[in-house]
Structure 1
Amino acid sequence: MNKTIKVAGITLISIAVLIVAGVIFIYSSLDSIVKAAVESVASDMTQTEVTLDNVSISPTTGEGSLSGFLMSNPKGFKSSDAFKFEEITIKVDPASIASDVVVINEIRIKAPHITYEVGPQKSNIDTINENAQSNSGSSDNSSNGTDSGPKFIVEHLYLNDGEVSVAAAPLGDKTIDVDLPNIHLKDIGKGGNGASPDVILKAALGAVTKNITSALNSVDLEGIAKDVKGRVQDLSEGAASSASAVTDTVGDAASGASEELKGAADGAGKALKGLLGD
């Protein structure tokens, strides 16, 4: 009898040690786990290359940062990257780290830079959105927790002080930089069993697309063309004929870019509606 009790006691102690070891492993490997998850999930969904330079999260306070986020452009676009975030701060509920649903109190993306490149048929952002939608699971399954994998609740997601660089063939190597309206998403995954990473990413991309479309409406390409034309007309008399040819070319290019960007903005709006299921 005593021998049986001893064996049972040893077994329970062994199980406890294994549990503690597992928790220690999770906590000590948290940074690398988050880094690998972000790079893998985002790359697979968007069909781009996503990299992170560094992840640092305190398992005791739940506060941390992700630095050097870079998402390349899809194939067929010349710009080197689509999204670039220098720093992302994060606050996680420490008590939820080892649970089935991890509660993220706040994600704050600071001063992101987005390149919006207009392609022959669609923009790079439209393409990324379409890839994200087609390469993720069903929104219903992902949001209610019936699929496998970790689940999250994101109470607040901020994207502030962003900038969009608009690139288009008629503009050559030049870009038009516009401010991106601030974004604040709340309670992603709340009210169910948490949200899978693809649902969170789709929600963020949808909000970004909507705000990029809004930002593009403020681009005055005709005004830019007039400004360039005025500068060219200040050239010396000896270059007058050449200046005239240059200004005409710039005016035509800007006019063409205006139409192209208008079509791209309309396409982005349609992509957003499809993304959000409206």
Structure 2
Amino acid sequence: MKKLLVILLIVLIAVSGLLFFLKDNLDEIVREIIVTSVSDATQTNVSLAQVKLNLKEGVGVLNNYQQGNPEGFQTKYAFRFDQAELDIDVGTILDDVVIIERVFINHADIVYEFNDGKTNFVELKKNIDKNTKKKSSDQKNNPVEVQEKTASQSKAQQSKKIIIRSFEMINTEVEAVMPFASSQTLSVQLPNIKLSNIGAKENGLLADELMKVFLDAMEKDLKRAVNFKNLVNDLEKDLKKQIDREADKAIKKIESELGEIENIKELKKLKDLF
């Protein structure tokens, strides 16, 4: 009986120590998971300044998130926001699937770049798809022992699966740009995005999978709001007008010079008369 009490005491101390560790380090652990998972999935630089969670109140915030661009794009980032507000179902924190009741983002900034016949948002989604296929292929081709080791490492590094009951992104400013034509830019406001029960059907999604859902939603509205074909046509018209203006100037200059030559010829004829 005495031994059993000692064992129980050790277990309680260990659990208490783990809880204190998680309490003191949870914000940084979650921040690292988000940055690492999304960076790996999108093959881009992702930055997140701070995560602040208050599990007692069931709320949290993500501060200063910036999603970098895929290779081949010149603008500084694809999108960024100063703050995302979270409402968390605290009762699910220790479950395999964590439920976030609400995510709210106000005044995000998007740079929608068209370069070499493609957009940065399409390429971000392609990178996530490639990463997903690679993980699936690795699991099929590796021996069982390696699969188990990789799975355990992945589980340790990744976030738990998440279900988001409500996602809302409002007042989002978009700058559509074509680096090869810096004069052709367009500023618009993206329609408000509202999504419900993200990941519910799949019994939860990982951080990179959630990012794919958000990118899909943003890109659909971006395609409706910005027509790069029209921007290119406008650019061609502007170039044609500029070329026509320069051609007119050149023609007038030549005509002026020719006129001066004719005047010189007439003066010479008059001089020969004397």
**Is the alpha carbon distance of 1:245 and 1:89 closer, same or farther for their aligned partners in structure 2, counting shifts above 3 Å?**
farther
For 1:82 and 1:119, the matched residues in 2 are separated by 13
Residue 36 of structure 1, CA deviation: 0.5
Q: Does structure 1 retain, via aligned residues, the 8 Å contact 2:165–2:198?
A: yes
Residue 175 of structure 1, CA deviation: 2.5
| Worse-superposed segment, 183-192 or 113-122 | 183-192
Q: Does structure 2 retain, via aligned residues, the 8 Å contact 1:27–1:59?
A: no
Q: Which amino acid aligns with 1:182?
A: N
Q: Which amino acid aligns with 1:213?
A: K
Q: Equivalent of 1:181, from 167, 177, 191?
A: 191
Normalising by structure 2, we get a TM-score of: 0.73
Asked if 1:154 corresponds to 2:155, the answer is: no
Asked if 1:244 corresponds to 2:240, the answer is: no
For 1:43 and 1:222, the matched residues in 2 are separated by 32
For 1:157 and 1:55, the matched residues in 2 are separated by 18
Residue aligning to 2:12: 16
Identity %: 28
Residue 96 of structure 1, CA deviation: 1.7
Residue 180 of structure 1, CA deviation: 0.7
Q: Which amino acid aligns with 2:34?
A: V
For 1:128 and 1:189, the matched residues in 2 are separated by 20
Q: Does structure 1 retain, via aligned residues, the 8 Å contact 2:190–2:225?
A: yes
How many residues end up aligned between the 2 structures?
226
Q: Which amino acid aligns with 1:7?
A: K
Residue aligning to 2:36: 40
Residue aligning to 2:62: 66
Residue 23 of structure 1, CA deviation: 2.1
Residue 221 of structure 1, CA deviation: 4.4
For 1:169 and 1:52, the matched residues in 2 are separated by 26
| Worse-superposed segment, 29-38 or 209-218 | 209-218
Please report the RMSD computed on the Cα atoms of aligned residues, expressed in angstroms. Answer: 3.1
Q: Higher helix fraction: Structure 1 or Structure 2?
A: 2
Residue 220 of structure 1, CA deviation: 6.5
Secondary structure at the counterpart of residue 217 of structure 2? helix
Residue 68 of structure 1, CA deviation: 0.9
Residue 189 of structure 1, CA deviation: 2.0
**Is the alpha carbon distance of 1:245 and 1:206 closer, same or farther for their aligned partners in structure 2, counting shifts above 3 Å?**
same
Residue 44 of structure 1, CA deviation: 0.6
Residue aligning to 2:182: 172
Residue aligning to 1:260: none
For 2:184 and 2:202, the matched residues in 1 are separated by 46
Q: Write the deviation string for residues 188-227 of structure 1: whole angstroms up to 9, x where unpaired.
A: 12245322222211111111111111111499649977xx
Residue aligning to 1:253: none
Residue aligning to 2:3: 7
Secondary structure at the counterpart of residue 81 of structure 1? coil
For 2:231 and 2:77, the matched residues in 1 are separated by 23
Tell me which structure has the larger Cα radius of gyration.
2
Residue 71 of structure 1, CA deviation: 1.5
Secondary structure at the counterpart of residue 51 of structure 2? strand
| Worse-superposed segment, 128-137 or 40-49 | 128-137
* Residue ranges of structure 2 left out of the alignment (5+ in a row): 140-153, 248-274
Q: Equivalent of 1:194, from 197, 204, 223?
A: 204
Residue aligning to 1:268: none
**Is the alpha carbon distance of 1:32 and 1:173 closer, same or farther for their aligned partners in structure 2, counting shifts above 3 Å?**
farther
Q: Equivalent of 2:121, from 119, 125, 145?
A: 125
